[in-house]
Structure 1
Amino acid sequence: MPAKPPLTTGIAADQLRALGEQIRAHRKALRISATTLAEAAGMSRITLHRIEKGEPAVTVGAYASAMAALGLNFGLVIPAPEAGLAQQASREGWIPARVRLADYPQLKQLAWQVHGVETLSPTEAWNIYERNWRHMDEQALTVHERQLVDALRLAFGGGDRRV
């Protein structure tokens, strides 16, 4: 029987959901099945599924095991909304759980056909960059957006891409 979930704040629940989404996105980017990752992390597939959903009842050790099996580091990141893009720019190689179009002007231009959406998953953002790179003005990329593109390329690119 699963543990009773602890009382969590809305912020904590959002952070766990974001962590779970990042773990799932990284697993999918590496093309690793849930069963394979669960076996490598020493847990059941159900526990891995609960981690990827961001359930608070799952132990932090299970989250750390899943991340270690994927080669991810488990570290503390203290969000500071007032720091905004300056803080994110200092996290090279970091991929947000959701990519806000308003933060990336070139991506926003490339995603002109996406209506009523303010955020994209990292995979969706990479697919838009990859499909439309020939239409992009590389000189207009901000440092922050260049870091995002580089991180997405590392995660999803496979090496022989033109992006």
Structure 2
Amino acid sequence: MASDDVLPNRLRRSLITLGKGLNIARRRRKLTLASMAERTGVTRQTYGRVEKGDPTVAIGTYLMAMFVLGLDAGALEKAADPQADETGTTLHIAELPSSVRTKRTPQAK
């Protein structure tokens, strides 16, 4: 399977945007591709694929690049927050009973 077939187009575009952002952040900090690769712990070729938004590169590599550049991974942390899962919440609410009855307790004689 080609790397272009791994993700839906919308997600693929998001990774490309992330890669471009990492490229700009690296150049603003005047870091070379080789030094960024070394700091991230990958080869120069792998880091080059990160800046191209390659979906076959491990997510940990993207996160490490963000860390090295001092970028906030808050969006990823928010995505992992169960309270931020709107779809899951909607599905959970749909499964709730429409009414709830209290159980009658037997009367003492």
- Structure 1-normalised TM-score? 0.43
* d(CA) in 2 for partners of 1:13, 1:75: 20
Q: CA deviation at 1:4?
A: 6.3
Quick check: 1:67 aligned with 2:66? Answer: yes
Q: CA deviation at 1:41?
A: 1.0
For residue 131 of structure 1, what is the aligned residue in structure 2? none
* d(CA) in 1 for partners of 2:35, 2:9: 32
Please, which runs of 5 or more residues in structure 2 have no aligned partner? 79-109
* d(CA) in 2 for partners of 1:23, 1:75: 15
- Which SS does the other structure have where 1:76 is aligned? helix
The aligned runs of 1:8-157 (5 Å cut-off) are: 8-76=7-75
Q: CA deviation at 1:75?
A: 3.1
* d(CA) in 2 for partners of 1:46, 1:62: 13
For residue 110 of structure 1, what is the aligned residue in structure 2? none
Q: Which runs of 4+ in 1 moved over 3 A?
A: 3-6
* d(CA) in 2 for partners of 1:42, 1:14: 25
- Which SS does the other structure have where 2:75 is aligned? coil
- Which SS does the other structure have where 1:54 is aligned? coil
Higher helix share: 2
The structure whose Rg is larger is 2
* d(CA) in 2 for partners of 1:56, 1:39: 20
- Structure 2-normalised TM-score? 0.63
